[in-house]
Amino acid sequence: MSGSTTALVAFLPVSTAGCCKTASKFYKIKLQKGERTLSKITPVQKGFTMFDMREIGLRIARLRKAKNMTQMELADHMNISFQAVSNWERGNSMPDISKLPELAELFGVTIDEILGKKAELIDSASNNKIDEYLANKTVTTEQIEEAAPILKPTQVDEMVEKANVDSLDEMIGILPFVSETTVDELIKKALKRGDYTAVSKAIPFASDNAVDSIAEQMVMDGQNITPMAPFISEKALSKLASTIYKQRGFSDIISLAPFISEKELSIIAEQEYEKSGLTKVENLAPFLSEECLEKLAKRAVKEYGIKSIRSISVYINDKSLDEYIKDALR
C-alpha cells in the first residue's frame, strides 16, 4: 500500500444460512500496509429454529431446584464444573449430548422434556443408537439441522451421508457442524453439477486447501469468485488474477484488489493504463505499490497534464508530488 497507509476495513456479508435459514455471517477484513488479516465475527442469528438455550436452562434450573440440589451438587454428580451448570441455566450453553441421558435419569424425566420438544434423533444419538435409528428411518435435512448443534461432528457426518441429499443449498445450515472433509466432498459434487451459488455459500466451511482449488475451477468455468475472495489465499488469487482480468474485465479486479498481491496488481494496472489511462486504474490506487503509482503518475503527467493525477494524488508521496507540480509549472 502507499500514501498514508490508513487501514481499510470492509465488511463482507457472506450468505450462509448459517445455523438456521435466516442467519447471516459477516467477516471483517482488515487491510493495512504489509498486513492482511481475516477474522470471523460472531454470526448474527435470528429466527433460530433449533433449541432455545434459555428455555432449556430454565428447565434444568427448575428440575435441579425440585430435587433440592445446589449447582455445585449437580456439578459433582455430573462430574463437571459448577460453572458449566451455571452456563446451562443462564442459557449460555447446552449440556453435551453424552450428558443428556444421565441428566434425564437424575431428574426422573425424558430427554425430550429437558429439550422441550420431541427429539428422537437426539435421543438415539445420546444413547449411542444412531446407527440403529438411521437404519430404520429416513433422516431429512431439517431433522439434521435441528439436532446438529448438540451432536458430535462424526455423528452429523454420518447422518449427512445417510440422508443422501443432492442439493448443497439444502445442506448449508448443517455445514457449521460437519467436518471439513465432508464439506469438501459436498462442494466437489456441487461443482460437478454447476451449482456455483451454493458453492460460494459453502466456502467459509471448506478446508483451506480445498478453497484454492475450488476457486481455480470456478475461474476456469468463467464464474465470479468475488464473494469467496476472503477465503482464498493471496498466492492462489494472484495467480488467477490475470485470467480473471482477461475473462471478466477490470471491474472484477477492482473488487478483488484487497486480496491480490501488489506485484500482480501492478502488472494489471499497467495493462489497463494502456487501454484507458488513469480513468479506471485510479480505483486500484489504495492497493498499488508506491513504485507502480509513481510510474503511472509520471506517465500521466507527461501525457495528459498535472490535473490527470488529481484523483490519485493522495496516494503519492509528497516529494514526488512536489516534483510533478514543479515540472508542470516550468
Report the mean per-residue pLDDT for the chain. 80
In total, how many domains does the chain have? 1
Distance CA 190, CA 324 (A): 54
Domain-located, residue 203:
no
- Biggest distance spanned by C-alpha atoms of the chain: 94
Question: Is 213 among the domain residues?
Answer: no
262 in a structural domain: no
pLDDT value at 43 more than 80: no
Which range of 44-53, 138-147, 163-172, 311-320 scores highest in mean pLDDT? It is 311-320
Tell me whether residue 100 is in a domain.
no
- Range(s) of the domain holding residue 295: 273-330
**Do the Cβ atoms of 168 and 183 come closer than 8 Å?**
no
Tell me the per-residue pLDDT of 208-250, one tens digit each, with 9 for 90 and over.
989 999 999 999 999 999 999 999 999 999 999 999 999 999 9
Does residue 295 sit within a domain? yes
| pLDDT computed for residue 118 by the predictor | 66
User: Is the residue at 25 inside a domain?
Assistant: no
User: Is residue 252 included in any domain, yes or no?
Assistant: no
Per residue in 50-73, pLDDT (tens digit) is: 667 888 899 999 999 999 999 999
Please tell me the pTM assigned to this model.
0.66
Q: How confident is the model at residue 121 (pLDDT cuts 50, 70, 90)?
A: confident
pLDDT band at 139 (very low <50, low <70, confident <90, very high): confident
Q: What is the pLDDT of residues 255-289, one digit of tens each?
A: 999 999 999 999 999 999 999 999 999 999 999 99
Over residues 94-123, mean pLDDT: 84
Contact 151, 177 (CB under 8 A): yes
Q: What is the pLDDT of residue 25?
A: 31
pLDDT of residue 123: 74
State whether the Cα torsion 312-316-321-327 is positive or negative. Answer: negative
Identify the pLDDT of residue 42. Answer: 33
**What secondary structure, in 3-state letters, does the chain show?**
CCCCCCCEEEEEEEEEECCCCCEEEEEEEEEECCEEEEEECCCECCCCCCCCHHHHHHHHHHHHHHCCCCHHHHHHHHCCCHHHHHHHHCCCCCCCHHHHHHHHHHHCCCHHHHHCCCCHHHHHHHCCCHHHHHHHCCCCHHHHHHHHHHCCHHHHHHHHHHHCCCCHHHHHHHHHHCCHHHHHHHHHHHHHHCCHHHHHHHHHHCCHHHHHHHHHHHHHCCCCCHHHHHHCCHHHHHHHHHHHHHHHCHHHHHHHHHHCCHHHHHHHHHHHHHHHCHHHHHHHHHHCCHHHHHHHHHHHHHHHCHHHHHHHHHHCCHHHHHHHHHHHHC
20, three cell numbers? 438456521
* Domain annotation covers residue 212: no
Bridging pattern class, strands 8-17 and 35-40: unpaired
